[in-house]
Amino acid sequence: MSAIAIGAKRGGLFRMGENLPAAMLTTVVIVSLIIFAHLAVILWLSFTDGAPGISTVSYGLANYVEVFTDRRTLDVLVNTLGFSVVSLVVALVFGVPAAWFVERTDIRGKTILFTLMTIGMLIPGFAAAMGWLFLMHPRIGLLNVWAMQAFGLSSAPFNIATVIGMGWVQGLNLAPLAFIMTAAVFRAMDPALEEAAQMNRASIFATMRRVTLPLAWPGIMAASIYIFTIGFAAFDVPAIIGWSNRIFTFSTFLYLLISPQDVLPRYGVAAALSTVVMALAAALSWWYGVMQKRSRQFAVVTGKAYRPRIIKLGWVVYPAWTFFALYFLLSKFLPITLLGWSSLLPFFQLPSAQSLSMISLNHYASQPWSLVLTGVQNTAILMLLTPTVTLAVSLAFSWIVLRSKVPGRSFFDFVAFLPHAIPNIIFGVGALLVTLYVLQRVIPLYGTIWLLLIVFSIARISYATRMTNAGLIQIHTELEESAQMSGAPLRRIFRRVLIPLLSPTLLYAWLWIALLTFRELTLAVILSSSTNTTLPVVIWSLWLGGGLGQASALAMVMLAAMAPIIAIYWIVARRHGLMASS
């Protein structure tokens, strides 16, 4: 066969003789280039000296030298490590036993527990952080004031504005993730292994120690690495609690570098710091991959139906319920109640006859309306468009990777994984740098909602492609081929066969991404200005400006607005037997 013959072959992609495959490939290539552009600009700027935009750019390692020698960066690193370790420990302490109770014991109400834990992931981190600040602020914190009055203490016993305090709040927010990830591990465990241990004269506790835990260990490790990575780059909690107390973690410090109040932004140093963290994140995600692989080797692989061994709790059911009640009290009820309480009062104070008489809806009425309306409008547009764009792009990625014969298609699968491996905040910084220093003269995206749309969508591509990949794999290719033989071109195959068959997955993923978009603060804070602000950003700026009551009121409105969408999500998820993962 001649080389020309191979070259003339339509490569499998265009053999359908239509435009859609080419359009999908173009989309995938452009999105991949955008993803790489983010990382490339960070890498490039990290090696530049002085402010970019100046014509005489010189290259060097000055930024890296500064990152590694500056006292402040070292503090930030220590803070971040402490913060992520504490939040990991807290998340595991609550998440792992909860998962074990739901998956492996005869506790009742499993569906409702599972749902509550899953939905818990959607409570915005900043709302919980605000609530905890009202509870444990060294001066005004409810718990502190009470304790000082009750025990005659001279100083506040608790301080949430510490690394440990922030880690505690972040850990409570991450516990649902620990729950979901380890629940999957416990569910996939072969009961025969435990039964064999008991037949070989191991007691229940010996079985747990010698068999159950070692088997679950790689899965728990994988979950731990994943949660640690998220904690490392978390923004909401350190921003709400740490910012005003000058306690910075990696993400808030990065934000300080690019938008300081008094000096010029230091993009070069921010880029260098981001590069260092990217390397760290890459290492962690490699380690995560190793653990995942080991975990899967332990999981049940036989196709035969099995049920994990259910342990009878007996009287332990009471401590178990207390455990769940405690978690929901600490993670949801207390912070939200305090948020609501503070939203009703002119200034934060303890509940008393006097404070009850001051309750009013003033904070709900006296909002900076034009800003709030802009935020509401932008958030609403983004909530509708982000999931739609993300899923359309992800479907193109999945089709190219799984169905086309484009050479090197598996590379695109790797590209779609990148936004997952690299902390969101770095993508935000990358997007900022690209728009400001590369694109601004050609396409002035900065300050527009489209910039947010693009970056939000890219940040969710890893999750969305995982969903569309899983959906597409389950559809037998012959269902598409028979449509082709029936005379349908690809666009009609998508409309009549693929999209209807994928619709439960797509609907489910759409709602989940919409909810995440609704509460997204990190990326929005970095990329927004007064014109493209979103609701969470408005809340944050109110908070920073000292309008605690207004911020609380707006956060309460946001939580209330989430309720109906969460209800729809819950109905969809239940009907299709799907439940979320990250």
Partner 1 sequence: MIRISHLRMSYRSAGERVAAARDVSIDIKQGQFYTLLGPSGCGKTTTLRCVAGLEEPDEGEIEVGGDLVYSSTRGAWTPPYKRNIGMVFQSYAIWPHMSVFENVAFPLVNGEEKLAREDIRKRVLAALALVKLEAYVDRPAPYLSGGQQQRLALARALVAEPRVLLLDEPLSNLDAKLREEMRVELRELVKRLNVTTLFVTHEQLEALTMSDVVAVMRDGKIIQEGTPHEIYSHPNSAFVAEFIGRTNLIPGMVPQGASAGAEIVVETNMGPVIAQAVSAFAPGEAVFLAIRPEDVEVSRMNGATSSNVFDAQVERLLFLGEAVDSFVRIGGQSFQMRMHPSAAPSFGDSIRVHLPRARCLALSSQ
* Residues 252, 80 contacting (CB under 8 angstroms): no
Over the window 499 to 538, marking each residue x when it contacts partner 1 by CB under 8 A and - when it does not, the resulting string is -xx-------------------------------------
Q: How near is the Cβ of 473 to partner 1 at its closest, in Å?
A: 15
Q: How near is the Cβ of 38 to partner 1 at its closest, in Å?
A: 32
* Residues 394, 467 contacting (CB under 8 angstroms): yes
SS3 of the chain: helix, strand, coil, percent, to 5:
75, 0, 25
Tell me how far the alpha carbon of residue 64 is from its chain's centroid: 28
Q: How near is the Cβ of 476 to partner 1 at its closest, in Å?
A: 6
The span of 229-237, 304-312, 430-438, 482-490 binding partner 1 (CB under 8 A) equals: 482-490
Question: In this structure, what are the phi and psi dihedrals at residue 49, rounded to the nearest 5 degrees?
Answer: -105, 150
Q: Residue 48's beta-bridge partner residues?
A: 59
* Residues 444, 460 contacting (CB under 8 angstroms): no
Could you give the CA distance from residue 57 to residue 78 in angstroms, rounded to a whole number? 33
Binder to partner 1 among 129, 454, 483, 526 (CB under 8 A)?
A: 483
The span of 7-15, 233-241, 517-525, 552-560 binding partner 1 (CB under 8 A) equals: 7-15
Q: How near is the Cβ of 492 to partner 1 at its closest, in Å?
A: 5
Binder to partner 1 among 159, 265, 492, 582 (CB under 8 A)?
A: 492
Residue 253 in tokens: 């410090």
Q: Is 347 exposed, middle or buried (0-12, 13-18, 19+ CB in 10 A)?
A: exposed
The span of 42-50, 77-85, 368-376, 484-492 binding partner 1 (CB under 8 A) equals: 484-492
The yes or no reply on residue 484 touching partner 1 (CB under 8 A) is yes
Question: In this structure, what are the phi and psi dihedrals at residue 443, rounded to the nearest 5 degrees?
Answer: -125, 105
Of the pair 4, 560, the CB lying nearest partner 1 is at 4
Of the pair 19, 203, the CB lying nearest partner 1 is at 19
Residue 154, H or E segment:
none
The span of 105-113, 446-454, 486-494, 505-513 binding partner 1 (CB under 8 A) equals: 486-494
Of the pair 50, 500, the CB lying nearest partner 1 is at 500
Per rule CB under 8 A, count of chain residues that contact partner 1 = 28
Binder to partner 1 among 199, 305, 442, 485 (CB under 8 A)?
A: 485
Positions 207 through 226 that interact with partner 1 (CB under 8 A): none
Binder to partner 1 among 69, 478, 564, 577 (CB under 8 A)?
A: 478
* Residues 229, 288 contacting (CB under 8 angstroms): yes
Tell me how far the alpha carbon of residue 219 is from its chain's centroid: 19
Q: Residue 58's beta-bridge partner residues?
A: 49
Q: Which of 506, 511, 509, 508 is nearest to 494 (CA)?
A: 506
The yes or no reply on residue 473 touching partner 1 (CB under 8 A) is no
* Residues 391, 565 contacting (CB under 8 angstroms): no
Residue 139 in tokens: 């001066």
The span of 4-12, 37-45, 125-133, 451-459 binding partner 1 (CB under 8 A) equals: 4-12
Q: Residues in the site for partner 1, rule: CB under 8 A?
A: 1, 5-6, 8-10, 12, 15-18, 476, 478-479, 481-489, 492, 496-497, 500-501
